């Protein structure tokens, strides 16, 4: 039986490392998007993001947060914001050795949410 992408990258522990790096080293240092997180409980945000990324990589669906549209309501996210987050996710996954094909698979799933996130 073929491993899920979630299993290939190392499961929950590896996803947590990716998420920590994603925020600490990339998102929160990027003036394009860091202002969206000024009032955010980052412990809670990291937990939600780890569950979401796990699900996006074919792991267990533990995400029980709001819908993407509801979670981004009132933020008026633009394409450049979405693209910056996708770029950072790509960089974080690559930083931890995920191959390009698997990154593309994950980012395709993220891209499918674009319309639920933008302009809300």
- The residue assigned the tokens 């996803």 is 15
- pTM to 2 decimal places: 0.88
Domain count of the fold of the chain? 1
Query: What are the tens digits of pLDDT across the range 36-47?
Result: 999 999 999 999
Question: What's the CATH code of the domain at 103?
Answer: 1.10.490.10
What the block records as the tokens of 85 is 């987050």
The domain containing residue 15 runs over which residues? 5-117
Q: What is the pLDDT of residues 81-104, one digit of tens each?
A: 999 999 999 999 999 999 999 999
41: left (phi over 0), alpha (psi -120 to 50) or beta: beta
From residue 38, give the alpha-carbon distance in Å to each of 15, 27, 35, 95, 113: 23, 12, 5, 25, 23
Q: What is the tens place of the pLDDT at every residue in 4-63?
A: 888 988 999 999 999 999 999 999 999 999 999 999 999 999 998 898 888 878 887 666
Both structure tokens of 63: 């995400």
């Amino acid at each position: 039986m073929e491993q899920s992408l979630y299993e290939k990258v190392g499961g929950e522990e590896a996803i947590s490392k990716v998420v920590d790096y994603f925020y600490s080293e990339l998102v929160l240092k990027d003036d394009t998007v860091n202002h969206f997180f000024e009032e955010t409980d980052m412990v809670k945000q990291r937990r939600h993001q780890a569950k979401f990324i796990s699900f996006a990589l074919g792991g267990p669906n533990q995400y029980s947060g709001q819908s993407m549209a509801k979670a981004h309501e009132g933020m008026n996210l633009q394409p450049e914001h979405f693209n910056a987050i996708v770029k950072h996710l790509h960089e974080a996954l690559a930083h931890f050795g995920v191959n390009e094909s698997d990154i593309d698979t994950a980012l395709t799933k993220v891209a499918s949410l674009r319309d639920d996130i933008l302009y809300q």
